[in-house]
Amino acid sequence: GGIITQTPKFLIGQEGQKLTLKCQQNFNHDTMYWYRQDSGKGLRLIYYSITENDLQKGDLSEGYDASREKKSSFSLTVTSAQKNEMAVFLCASSIKAGGYEQYFGPGTRLTVL
Amino acid sequence: QQKVQQSPESLSVPEGGMASLNCTSSDRNFQYFWWYRQHSGEGPKALMSIFSDGDKKEGRFTAHLNKASLHVSLHIRDSQPSDSALYFCAANTNTGKLTFGDGTVLTVKP
């Protein structure tokens, strides 16, 4: 089996600050994803990366940047933190894009002061 | 309109009882349907997938898909307190983008 590690577990920032969340997977999966989950609601896709040198926007990409540094790591940057985007950010990976199971990390909880 | 809608929002069943969760999609491009479960403080974990009409059974969990009506359900028999969690229905096409519903909170009372 494998594991997805997200750092930090809790992230506190000031309004307007640029903040970076990191994700590592050791499944050797091609595809990685970033989702945002607001207070126990459903997940919304921010960015995904089909393969190592690919980057695709999801439904909620405005205000975020992403970077796939290597096959095992995928970072998400909040370009200017806003109070209305306090949420849990979840990273996931799958063996390939398509109808394959996505494996999720434990999440990073973002608080904006 | 949300593309994946779940009902009910919350559900309480006694230990040993049957829990039934429902999901309807509005997008006929969806090919794969998933049920994910999320315990408090953790990331979601896939329970099962279904992409053919009919039933799919895995242990105490049975999923049912009706492609004509784009309706998928999850039935949990002999529910246990450890089944208490947030359950998501999700659907995707072959592009990999997974669309989630807002979830059903299941509480199993001992």
Contact B43 A107 (CB under 8 A): yes
The amino acid at A59? D
Report residue B104 as tokens: 């059903």
Question: Going by DSSP bridges, is the β-strand pair B10-14/B104-109 parallel, antiparallel, or unpaired?
Answer: parallel
Distances from the Cα of A57 to the Cαs of A54, A83, A100, B33, in angstroms? 10, 22, 19, 22
| Of B42, B86, B96, Cβ closest to residue A48 | B96
Helix (H, G, I), strand (E, B) or coil at B38: strand
- CB contact, 8 Å: B48 with chain A? no
The average confidence (pLDDT) of chain A is 94
Burial class (CB in 10 A: 0-12, 13-18, 19+), A59: exposed
Q: What is the pLDDT of residues B20-47, one digit of tens each?
A: 999 999 888 898 999 999 999 999 999 9
B46 CB within 8 Å of a chain A CB: yes
Q: Residue B30: which of B58, B59, B4 has the closest Cα?
A: B4
Q: Is B87 on the interface with A (CB under 8 A)?
A: no
Burial B52-91 (b: 16+ CB within 10 A, else e): eeeeeeeeebbbbbebeebebbbbbeebeeebbbbbbbbb
pLDDT at B109: 96
pLDDT at site B2: 72
**Beta strands B54-58 and B98-100: pairing type?**
unpaired
Instruction: Give CA–CA dist A4/B65, Å, rounded.
Output: 30
If pLDDT is split at 50, 70 and 90, which confidence band does A45 have? Answer: very high
Task: State yes or no: pLDDT of A60 exceeds 80.
Answer: yes
Q: Is B11 on the interface with A (CB under 8 A)?
A: no
Report the 3 state secondary structure along A27-94: CCCCEEEEEEECCCCCEEEEEEECCCCCCEECCCCCCEEEEEEECCEEEEEECCCCHHHCEEEEEEEE
| Number of Cβ pairs < 8 A linking chain A and chain B | 61
Q: Which residues of chain A does B34 touch, with a Cβ-Cβ cutoff of 8 Å?
A: 101
Does B91 contact chain A (CB < 8 Å)?
no
pLDDT value at residue B1: 63
